[in-house]
Structure 1
Amino acid sequence: MSGSKVRKGICRGASLIALTALFPVQATLAQTADNGGQLEEIIVTGIRAQVQSAQAIKQNAEQLVDSVTAVDIGALPDRSVTEVLQRIPGITIGRTANGRDADRLSIEGSGVQIRGLSLVRGEFNGRDSFGANNGRALGFEDVPPELMAGVDVYKNPSADLIEGGLGGVVNLRTRTPFDAKGRILAGSVDYSYTDLRKEAKPSGSVLYSDRWESNKLGEFGVLVDLAYSELSTRADTFSVNAYRERVGADPNATNKPGNYIAGVAPGKTVYVPDGWGYRTLDFERERFGVAGVVQWRPDARWDITAQYLRSAAEQAALEHVVGLNTGSANGPAAGTSFTYDDRGYFIKGTIANQADGTGTTQDIDLLDARWNRRYSTTEDASLNIKFNPNDRWSFSGDVQYVKSKTKAIDFTLFDAMPGGTAVPASTLDLTGGLPKVTLSIADSYRNNPANYYYSAAMDNHQRNQADQWAERFDTEYTFDDDWLSSARFGVRHNKREAVTRDSNYNWGWISQNWTGAGLATLDKAGSKVPYYSYGDDDFMRGAIQLPGNFLVPDGRLAKDYVKGAAAIRSVQLEPDWGTGWRPFNGDYEAQTGGGGGVNRQSEETWAAYGLVRFSNQVKLFGEDKDVDGNIGLRYVHTETNGQGFSVVQSASSLNLGPGAAAQDLAFLNGARSSIDGGRTYDYFLPSLNVRVKLTDELQWRFAAGSSIVRPDLQQLQATANISADGGHLVNGTCQSGSGPGNVTNCVYQFKGSAGNPDLKPLRSNQFDTSLEWYFAPTGSLTGVVFYKDIYDFITNTLQTVKFTNNGVTRDVFATRPYNAGKGSIKGFELAYSQFYDFLPDPFSGLGLQANITHIESKGTRNAAVNPFDANQQANVQGSTNLPLEGMSKWAYNIQGLYEKGPLSLRLAWNWRERYLLTTTAANINIPAWADDYGQLDASVFFTINDHIKAGVEAANLSNSRTKVLVGFPGKLTMHNWVDADRRYTFVLRATY
């Protein structure tokens, strides 16, 4: 199987620690003492054992590897796998639940980038794995960290690693019974409290492992590991809407420009936000995981392992929002003026919904309750058989089945407060560190349900599933040769099927303000539709004073979709409007446009590799130096197929006249037709890893290789939406637009949007070199310089594509994903780790870990997440001056450690520089940026006796504020200020 091989003869006994520290609570190290040459046993525990184990793996791996290990059972150093990964050099994580959704925070982090690239492959125990959300990436935030023995990150692969990670590969390792010497029973109980939500939730895990021998049948081992956790958190967000370009004009002019604003010199350009708002997001997360392993070793030649892993997670969020929209024609309230900064951007003023400086009112048109729930499971079952007939040969056969499902619902109910004299203009002050708002509405008016109306509803549903069978066979031959150590060969086959279903976002009206039907009078069905008073005095811990409570839809309606939809339909004043809201009927096949509908993808891959390991000595600087490494080649053959549909506009909707071509009329038949597509491709992926031991403590590495990553399933979707622009005939030539009498009698052009099942993978040639100094079992100083050339970046462009419908083929100007251009990424990583044992007691327990990463890129391009979204398409095409999404130029970690006697302490600071979240933020459709962010976490544990530990872990001790900006470089403005919980977890662990 793939993975690093721990070799013999590691200085200072580090390999022994790497093996023994993976499982038991205490790792032991035998060293020669000065007392007559006798062996002295040194007990290594807790944080020190974690550092020692991870360092040994990194030092002795064949490839460039960084690791985090859990020496204590169920004790990775953070509360989620995502948070664990952010401590590793070169890795950063996101802070929003979804890259395009700049308004909603992910408390535990989401999305993983390795060296700035989100193109990361995840695996369990060296086997490829994934989630059904897009059929590619593994959702690390959904994996219970309590099940993990460690996490390994491969940044430049060797030929025996499965292809598919352009940024790198993250391997999640679970435990096996043969890792331990005998029976182990371990458990933990946690209790997590969040200070903004003011709620506590439990977590727990239990592990049983044993092994025993039979004279006739050999040795058996069984392990069962269960983990369950809950978390409740809250995030408060204050938002300023996107700024709009406005120009001054002569107030006496007859025809003022559409973006006119009062109080500004004619011809001068300023920028003004068209509203502001705030929201509270209550988040619930529940995770359950089970790992089971059976091992059988009939004799020394055979090792048979059956593993099962199931990871399930449910995430749910209830959000309440108040939004004030002054509209794009806003301006200073009567008798007031705006204050601008040196760039001409609004920083203070009273905003009314009239641009001419006479307005006194505004609208409160966004009051909502939104419920979002996602449930996902991944099951991974495998059987591995190893056979070593003699000292020369070893064989390994492996079969794996992975099944993943995701079910999601998003349901939003909107109400609104009509404008008028009762809703005066609001004052917004952005001159300080936080916004200040003033909105004077009488309490009696705000708290009267008759002054509100239910305005709209919106729902979205997703049902995704993916499964994969994978089989592989590997063999290795060990040489008795001065240079050749061994040769390893293998083949792998896998077949993956994925189906994603999306209903699109289904928005529609419920009622209108002119109907006079306030919240209290909507009673058609004889039962009131509930509402809720929202406006917390402790918003952002009192840092921002809200203008008072408003009545918003009750979250109970949003949480229960069936009952909520029925209640809304029962009071809907015009349920049969063309734009009236109708609940989703469950027919995903009928959904068109926007990337919705059903996307069926199949992918079959055959791979073969050969890898030769070498080891010897070479003469360097006049001395013999140990050199080892591997060189290999991986061949990959892939066949893909996607099934979807095309939707073509009807000619009748264009009002085509008799001059239209008969074939154009036949093409525009309004039909919905099944289509499919795909491609076959082959890649040869060479790799080289070389290590030179300059001294017993200092080593140099060089790695080179090629890698690929396949396109996202949504980009491969075999779907097209085709329409036409009508024209009129002039001397037999079709001209754009309507002719006399508003008649269109020809087709000027066909246009559309589409996925592209013919996409190729992204490909990279990458190089790494490192210098690594391991001066103690827990002491190291390492530096890595890396460079990647990346080809076939996927972007979205408008090109002419031939489409056939109803037997007629036409050139269509279609926006779709394409492989276009190349780019490069380069940078460096520095990492330092040491325990200061030379200090006098009690300071000899102090330690420090630190790392820093710098990344630069050029020529690279972003791609639209949804190729059917016109806003995403436009922004991607016009964003050549934007960096890659998710790429911070600088990121660093500092961890202060202390371990002495029974006491273990950790204080960890993680920071990353501003980065581009998305080229097209949802709703506002402009680029969004996550600002510089740092967070302080800590833990303290006390060893009560040989079996029991107790402690406290804290996340976000610094009470760090997340900030989001929007706009293009040089024109960025603040959009969001977000405060989230501090999390305190009280932990009790026991091992017997």
Structure 2
Amino acid sequence: MMNFKPSKVTLALLSSGFMALSTSALAQEAAEGENKVEEKAVEVIKVTGLRRSLALSQAVKMSSSSVVEAISAEDIGKLPDASIAESIARLPGITAQRLNGRANVVSIRGLSPDFTTATLNGREQVSVGDNRGVEFDQYPSELLGGVVIYKTPDASLMSQGIGGTVDMQTIRPLSYGKQAFAVGLRYEENDLGALNAGSSDSGERGSFSYIDQFADNTIGVAIGYAHMSSPNQEERWEAWGYPELDDGNQVLGGAKPYVRSSELERDGWMGVVEFQPNDRFHTIVDVYYSDFKETQLLRGIEIPLAWSGAQLQPGYTAENGLVTAGQYNDVMAVMRNDINIRDSEVTSLGWNLEYVLDDNWTVEADLSYSKAERVDFGLESYSGTGRGSGVGASDNIGFELTGDGGAVFSPGLDYSDSDLMKIGAPLSWGNGQTIAGDAQDGFINRPSIEDELKAIRLSAERVMDSGFISSIEFGVNYSEREKSKDNSGDYLTLNNYPDLMTVPDEYLLSPTSLDFIGMGDMLSYDSWALYKDGYYTETSEGLTVSSRATDSWLVKEEVTTAYVQINLDTEWQEMPISGNFGVQVVSTDQSSTGNGVKIEDGLVVATELSGGDKYTEVLPSLNLNFEVAEEQMLRLGISRTLARARMDQMNAGIGYDYDTNLAGSDDLNNSPWTGKGGNPELQPWLAKQYDLSYEYYLGDEGYISVAGFYKDLENYIFNEYSVYDFSDVPVSGDNPTLLQGLVEQPKNGNGGNLHGIEMTLSLTGGMFTDVLEGFGMVISGAITDSKVKENADSDPLALPGLSKKVLNATVYYENSGFEARVSSRYRSEFIGEVTGRSLSRNQRLVKGELVVDAQLGYDFSESNFDSLDGLSIQLQVNNLTDEPFTTYENKDARQVKDHQVYGRNFMLGMNYKF
């Protein structure tokens, strides 16, 4: 219930239809307030652009019964940033991790994406990733009207998370109330240029949106389409690691630097049909579909050093325990001409029906379906001077560490010489069983994901005629989710093995420059065409490597949530008080199927394993809002929340070893059985949350807020050793004395706490003087810390996704149609999840970063050219300062593991609305 009285500016904005999202309570309040304001006064008020977006977002925040943050579109198909992930990352206490230069997943209040739930129009969404964290770049910002982030839950919020809930919202055509058509076009270019032959440094984006009403405004339709073909370039340094020498110094063990050129193609569709024939019945159908394809060209040279037959020469330079310069002799480098293709689809359907029985009772039904499919294809093609380790010309390479940028090399060979460099295996990476040790001429990774979620919700609300209780809500939600992963990989061997192959002229490309790390040019060819034309023979890695089978799994969940919520609206000593208290009872039945895998005579033997568990949790919540003074709100939130465990950790698969030499042992610590795997009986993370927020609103376009939170984590998930029963696993030879062994699995262990403070300042220059009219700024900061231990004697863990310091700032100017803004987002170092070997996901320490974007624009609606009314143009620069993405090892910033430079993306575009 909104206590603040809507002003004329807020009413004008609301009446224009841009709050026609899912904030129906606010829209209803505004409609009641609008009748009390003279129509003429509302008509003369016009707020546009970013100021409109900020004012609408502030109105959502003011009206909410929970602690929320919000983003609202500046206009149809026009959110403040190029992607929805970047927009979310500008909100207080929220950060984004970049993937290939673009914001991808978000962390709320220092908790990783595993603790955050994403919904579309209030319905939980599946993900194309390996776990639950939604990759927000799948959702075109042009198709969304806004986003609301719930930092504190209430009982009616079906999809909760310990971090929070991100609810993306599409337009509601009947609430919008008028016909509109909008078109947007953008041209995009990356300033690094096309780093790989066959790539492009330019792309385009286009979108259109159509909203209309029919049959005396009883039927509403909204349709949107967004297309993106976006370039992305990268110069990347990647170290193998830093082993220790005999003298105690650590040294570069090897490197895999390369340049990457990507093209992201995304087509998104949104459709809404709304029907409201009278005041009692209302139904709405939402359809969303996104097809996302990314093609990456990667060319570089793997340089084996300490972990190879190369020799570090005497006379190297060491500083504070790290070798910073030296030379390796007899280096056998491997040139890589790789291509990665990811194809993913997301489909979301929703149908809501609401019927008003009488003045007091309303019933509602909601059905939803969400599905995500992802297929990866990662092709590696190798070339060098000879087949197998120690064969062919070697190189003497000098190196010097350069800080964040990794290392610069001084090679002796010309790696672009097609007479010297041949296609084939320069090193003996083959398994020596199903293929010869020198027969791995390339590799293919083929992981795939399928995620499906069905849900139905039935609820009712009883409005109370008097007293401090305004209404009572209750209902039940039932959902079924099924997610599976299939992970396969194949060795590639040239058909003419053991001969090497000179690159045929029709596949030969211009050399690729690796000057950024001093390696000069390298041989480049079209490996994708070579593969398609049948130059390679494929052999499954899964025949000999157990991780392929153990990383293939199926997880199912059936969740029933019953809830009751009592909404409050009263006064105490003339102080308005609103809010709610309620409880959810969540019952879960989870199961998983995986593979039990062992190696016999060098080959994989797999048997199907399954397991699961059932649990019920009670989640109470309380939200109280005190209007302590005019335009000042104090909010209190207390709740118990859960976040379900990662699905890859719920995998029933186990990779195990059986030692026949220990078959007679009766000592569990010396059992013949050992293993490592997932745990289908994992319980969810649970936390008690305490939130206190003070908000002081300075009119319609400014506010100051300070919020503190404390999360008491009841448990956390750690890898631990536990007793596992192997009685169903067949063995060859004599039966073992022990049928149990110690297996490393994720387990629910001790918890800890997470706490922090957030501050936001949103001001306009007109608040101080007319001279500064049009200027404004939004600044927010957060300081977060945690204390989670595996046991009482261990050191506190660094939680994934937690940046202790976060700062976001936007400074803007809007006047007479001219728009200019500069936005920045800073986060200190954190543990992030990045792509590792065989497209796996690994955790790394990520260096703090400051990303700056800028935008200039002009809206011709503010000009005297009537023929250009509705037209606006924008020039946007993303990553203005070319901020790199850097990870490092051993808590030593000099030991750079990964350093990625993306360049700047320039976009020139126009929007036209009529």
Q: Which residue of 1 aligns with 2:233?
A: 234
Q: Give the aligned CA root-mean-square deviation in angstroms.
A: 3.6
Distance 2:214 2:821 in 1: 38
Per the alignment, do residues 420 and 639 of structure 1 end up closer, same or farther by CA in structure 2, a change over 3 Å counting? closer
Q: Which residue of 1 aligns with 2:360?
A: 392
Matches within 5 A, 1:40-51: 41-51=44-54
The CA deviation string for residues 24-43 of structure 1, in whole angstroms up to 9 with x for no partner, is 99x999999999x9777211
Distance 1:378 1:919 in 2: 22
Q: Which residue of 2 aligns with 1:572?
A: none
The CA deviation string for residues 254-285 of structure 1, in whole angstroms up to 9 with x for no partner, is xxxxxxxxxxxxxxx21111234421011111
Of 122, 136, 141, 2:132 maps to 136
1:466 aligns with 2:451: yes
Kept in 2, the 8 Å contact 1:860–1:883? The answer is no
Q: Which residue of 1 aligns with 2:259?
A: 280
Matches within 5 A, 1:641-660: 641-650=591-600
SS for the counterpart of 1:958 is coil
Kindly provide the amino acid, as one letter, of the partner of residue 897 in structure 2.
H
Kept in 1, the 8 Å contact 2:550–2:596? The answer is no
The CA deviation string for residues 735-786 of structure 1, in whole angstroms up to 9 with x for no partner, is 999xxxxxxxxx9521122221111111111111011110121110101101
Kept in 2, the 8 Å contact 1:685–1:707? The answer is yes
SS for the counterpart of 2:726 is strand
SS for the counterpart of 2:47 is strand
Per the alignment, do residues 640 and 19 of structure 1 end up closer, same or farther by CA in structure 2, a change over 3 Å counting? farther
SS for the counterpart of 1:605 is strand
Aligned-pair CA distance for 1:819: 1.2
Q: Which residue of 2 aligns with 1:869?
A: none
Aligned-pair CA distance for 1:389: 3.0
1:322 aligns with 2:322: no
Of 741, 744, 750, 1:812 maps to 741
Distance 1:736 1:760 in 2: 26
Q: Which residue of 1 aligns with 2:539?
A: 582
Per the alignment, do residues 16 and 338 of structure 1 end up closer, same or farther by CA in structure 2, a change over 3 Å counting? same
1:615 aligns with 2:544: no
Q: Which residue of 2 aligns with 1:347?
A: 324
Per the alignment, do residues 413 and 589 of structure 1 end up closer, same or farther by CA in structure 2, a change over 3 Å counting? closer
Kept in 2, the 8 Å contact 1:192–1:201? The answer is yes
1:684 aligns with 2:663: no
Matches within 5 A, 1:447-846: 447-455=417-425, 456-503=441-488, 505-507=489-491, 517-520=499-502, 530-532=507-509, 534-536=511-513, 544=516, 546-552=518-524, 554=525, 556-558=526-528, 561-563=531-533, 566-569=534-537, 582=539, 592-594=546-548, 596=550, 598-619=552-573, 624-650=574-600, 672-727=606-661, 748-805=671-728, 810-838=739-767, 843-846=772-775
Q: Which residue of 2 aligns with 1:183?
A: 179
Aligned-pair CA distance for 1:88: 0.7
Per the alignment, do residues 719 and 844 of structure 1 end up closer, same or farther by CA in structure 2, a change over 3 Å counting? same
Q: Where do 5+ consecutive residues of structure 2 fail to align?
A: 22-26, 195-200, 426-440, 862-868
Q: What is the TM-score with the length of structure 2 in the denominator?
A: 0.88
Kept in 2, the 8 Å contact 1:502–1:598? The answer is yes
SS for the counterpart of 1:116 is coil
Aligned-pair CA distance for 1:591: 8.3
Distance 2:797 2:384 in 1: 37
Per the alignment, do residues 314 and 671 of structure 1 end up closer, same or farther by CA in structure 2, a change over 3 Å counting? closer
Distance 1:725 1:884 in 2: 37
Q: Which residue of 1 aligns with 2:428?
A: none
Aligned-pair CA distance for 1:440: 4.5
The CA deviation string for residues 221-249 of structure 1, in whole angstroms up to 9 with x for no partner, is 1111111111011000134442211123x
SS for the counterpart of 1:134 is coil
Aligned-pair CA distance for 1:848: 0.6
Q: Which residue of 1 aligns with 2:430?
A: none
Per the alignment, do residues 385 and 925 of structure 1 end up closer, same or farther by CA in structure 2, a change over 3 Å counting? closer
Q: Which residue of 2 aligns with 1:147?
A: 143
Q: Which residue of 2 aligns with 1:865?
A: none
Matches within 5 A, 1:360-375: 361-375=329-343
Kindly provide the amino acid, as one letter, of the partner of residue 788 in structure 2.
G
Aligned-pair CA distance for 1:9: 2.8
Q: Which residue of 1 aligns with 2:783?
A: 854
The CA deviation string for residues 643-693 of structure 1, in whole angstroms up to 9 with x for no partner, is 23323455x789xxxxxxxxxxxxxxx964333211111111000001111
* Bigger radius of gyration: 1
Q: Which residue of 2 aligns with 1:254?
A: none
Kindly provide the amino acid, as one letter, of the partner of residue 450 in structure 1.
L
Aligned-pair CA distance for 1:529: 8.8
SS for the counterpart of 2:683 is coil
Kindly provide the amino acid, as one letter, of the partner of residue 74 in structure 1.
G
Kindly provide the amino acid, as one letter, of the partner of residue 527 in structure 2.
L
The CA deviation string for residues 904-929 of structure 1, in whole angstroms up to 9 with x for no partner, is 11110111111123599659999732
Distance 1:728 1:603 in 2: 39
1:891 aligns with 2:806: yes
Per the alignment, do residues 974 and 432 of structure 1 end up closer, same or farther by CA in structure 2, a change over 3 Å counting? closer
SS for the counterpart of 2:13 is helix
Q: Give the share of equivalent positions with the same residue, in percent.
A: 22
Per the alignment, do residues 289 and 545 of structure 1 end up closer, same or farther by CA in structure 2, a change over 3 Å counting? closer
Q: In the comparison of the two structures, how many residue pairs are matched?
A: 866
Q: Which residue of 2 aligns with 1:439?
A: 410
Distance 2:5 2:667 in 1: 80
Kindly provide the amino acid, as one letter, of the partner of residue 783 in structure 1.
V
Kindly provide the amino acid, as one letter, of the partner of residue 566 in structure 2.
V
Distance 2:893 2:874 in 1: 47
Kept in 1, the 8 Å contact 2:706–2:760? The answer is yes
Distance 2:411 2:127 in 1: 49
Distance 2:37 2:582 in 1: 45
Kept in 2, the 8 Å contact 1:728–1:736? The answer is no
Q: Which residue of 1 aligns with 2:850?
A: 934
Distance 2:304 2:904 in 1: 32
Distance 1:920 1:299 in 2: 53
The CA deviation string for residues 88-144 of structure 1, in whole angstroms up to 9 with x for no partner, is 11111112x3xxxxxxxx221222111121221111001111124336332211111
Q: Which residue of 2 aligns with 1:211?
A: 213
Kindly provide the amino acid, as one letter, of the partner of residue 674 in structure 2.
K
Q: Where do 5+ consecutive residues of structure 1 fail to align?
A: 98-105, 249-268, 353-360, 570-580, 655-669, 738-746, 863-876
Kept in 1, the 8 Å contact 2:12–2:45? The answer is no
Distance 1:925 1:13 in 2: 48
Distance 2:41 2:7 in 1: 19
Kindly provide the amino acid, as one letter, of the partner of residue 223 in structure 2.
V
The CA deviation string for residues 385-407 of structure 1, in whole angstroms up to 9 with x for no partner, is 11123332222111112222111
Per the alignment, do residues 813 and 473 of structure 1 end up closer, same or farther by CA in structure 2, a change over 3 Å counting? same
SS for the counterpart of 2:68 is strand
Aligned-pair CA distance for 1:640: 1.5
Kindly provide the amino acid, as one letter, of the partner of residue 204 in structure 1.
G
Distance 1:232 1:38 in 2: 47
Kindly provide the amino acid, as one letter, of the partner of residue 821 in structure 1.
N
Aligned-pair CA distance for 1:422: 5.7
Higher mean C-alpha deviation, range 900-909 or range 191-200: 191-200
Distance 2:611 2:255 in 1: 45
Kept in 1, the 8 Å contact 2:550–2:595? The answer is no
Higher mean C-alpha deviation, range 115-124 or range 881-890: 881-890
Q: Which residue of 1 aligns with 2:429?
A: none
Q: Which residue of 1 aligns with 2:104?
A: 110
Distance 1:422 1:501 in 2: 40
SS for the counterpart of 2:880 is coil
Kept in 2, the 8 Å contact 1:965–1:974? The answer is yes
Kept in 1, the 8 Å contact 2:238–2:256? The answer is yes
Distance 2:908 2:640 in 1: 46
Aligned-pair CA distance for 1:804: 2.6
Aligned-pair CA distance for 1:962: 2.5
Distance 2:588 2:71 in 1: 33
